[in-house]
């Protein structure tokens, strides 16, 4: 994808060289959710509908096969007391709006005025307060709606309602989220540009409830990256920079080391999946429950020494291959 070409240069080199391998269908991962949204942040998934293309950043599931090259020497392993840990949820998982009281009151007043008015030439299908402001979905004359609602009622974005959306899982809230993410595209592109110039990229995500792009970077965060928080965008939105312990490249190399160790028999157990922690604090390793037993604490300690960073072990059934028509 075009966005992937703009990611961290070293990470891209690792992908091209075979040190990392992306696995899994991102759109399928969004729909599944059963993996506790662990894969939400670092790949781009696009789902098209008539008039609405849903673009979301989700976590890339990075793993390596046994034939792939061993990565560079690991970073320092964590202290034993820090080994047994759990990946934390990403900030983007919090859907609550954290707005100043005066801003919230103004936007709620704007929303109430919109909902109480009957307009000529268009109708309001759905309107809601978001982290960006009031987003409105309309039927009828969209251009006229934009002129009135953005000009007189201070709506931040007005967009046409796509009647086909619900058939593919995009209801009012879903389409509102997509429109909000479109509005954040300039901020996302600005964040992506710096990944080509500075090392340490650790993750990128739409933070819908904050009206922002969340950019995670290996600490200490360079001044050039931190300065992104001061950018303003005509379309709205902002960039929030968060320092984390490990870069995405380091997490990918750690996952490769763990997978190779387990598939070679160095560590007992059946590896089933790998993923960076959403908060950049380590990696998550899935182990077939039949080979895990009550060894989680022991295995986390062993794998953390190999990974060079904290490891969260979870019971995870092996992926089931899909049978394709025609023997494909």
- Cα–Cα dist 299/293, whole Å: 10
Residue 249: predicted pLDDT:
97
Convert 167-192 to b/e letters by CB count within 10 Å (16 or more is b): eeebeeebbbbbbbbbbbebbbebbb
- Coil, helix or strand for 174? helix
Side-chain-side CA neighbours of 242 within 13 Å: the count stands at: 20
Among candidate residues 99, 97, 94, the one with its CA nearest the CA of residue 40: 94
Return per-residue pLDDT of the chain as tens, 328 residues: 433 343 444 444 443 333 343 333 333 333 333 333 333 333 332 233 333 333 334 333 333 333 333 343 445 555 545 447 899 888 888 888 888 999 999 999 999 999 999 999 999 999 999 999 999 999 999 999 999 999 999 999 999 999 999 999 999 999 999 999 999 999 999 999 999 899 999 999 999 999 999 999 999 999 999 999 999 999 899 999 999 999 999 999 999 999 999 999 998 889 999 999 999 999 999 999 988 888 889 999 999 999 999 999 999 888 875 556 655 5
Instruction: Compute how many other C-beta atoms are within 10 angstroms of the C-beta atom of residue 242.
Output: 16
Specify the 3-state DSSP secondary structure of 80: helix
Q: Is the pTM of this model over 0.85?
A: no
């Amino acid at each position: 994808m075009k966005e992937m070409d703009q990611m961290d240069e070293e990470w891209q080199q690792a992908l091209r060289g075979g040190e990392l391998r992306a696995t899994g269908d991102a759109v399928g991962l969004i729909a599944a959710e059963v993996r506790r949204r662990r894969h939400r942040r670092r790949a781009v998934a696009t789902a098209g509908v008539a008039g609405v293309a849903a673009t979301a950043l989700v976590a890339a599931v990075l793993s390596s096969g046994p034939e792939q090259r061993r990565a560079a020497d690991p970073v320092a392993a964590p202290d034993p007391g820090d080994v047994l840990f759990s990946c934390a949820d990403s900030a983007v998982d919090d859907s609550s709006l954290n707005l100043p009281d005066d801003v919230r009151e103004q936007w709620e007043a704007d929303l109430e005025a919109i909902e109480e008015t009957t307009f000529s030439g268009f109708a309001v299908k759905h309107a809601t307060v978001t982290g960006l402001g009031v987003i409105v979905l309309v039927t009828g004359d969209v251009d006229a709606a934009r002129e009135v609602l953005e000009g007189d009622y201070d709506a931040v974005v007005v967009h046409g309602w796509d009647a086909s959306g619900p058939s593919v899982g995009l209801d009012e809230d879903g389409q509102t989220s997509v429109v909000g993410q479109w509005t954040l595209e300039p901020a996302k592109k600005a964040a992506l540009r710096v990944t080509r110039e500075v090392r340490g990229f650790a993750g990128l995500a739409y933070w819908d409830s904050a009206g922002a792009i969340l950019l995670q970077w290996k600490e200490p965060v360079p001044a050039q990256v931190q300065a992104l928080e001061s950018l303003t965008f005509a379309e709205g939105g902002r960039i929030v920079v968060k320092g984390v312990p490990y870069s995405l490249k380091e997490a990918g190399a750690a996952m490769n080391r763990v997978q190779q160790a387990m598939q070679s028999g160095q560590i007992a157990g059946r590896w089933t999946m790998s993923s960076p922690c959403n908060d950049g604090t380590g990696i998550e390793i899935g182990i077939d429950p039949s080979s895990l037993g009550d060894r989680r604490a022991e295995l986390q300690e062993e794998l953390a020494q190999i990974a060079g960073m904290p490891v969260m072990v979870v019971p995870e059934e092996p992926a089931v291959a899909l049978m394709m028509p025609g023997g494909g």
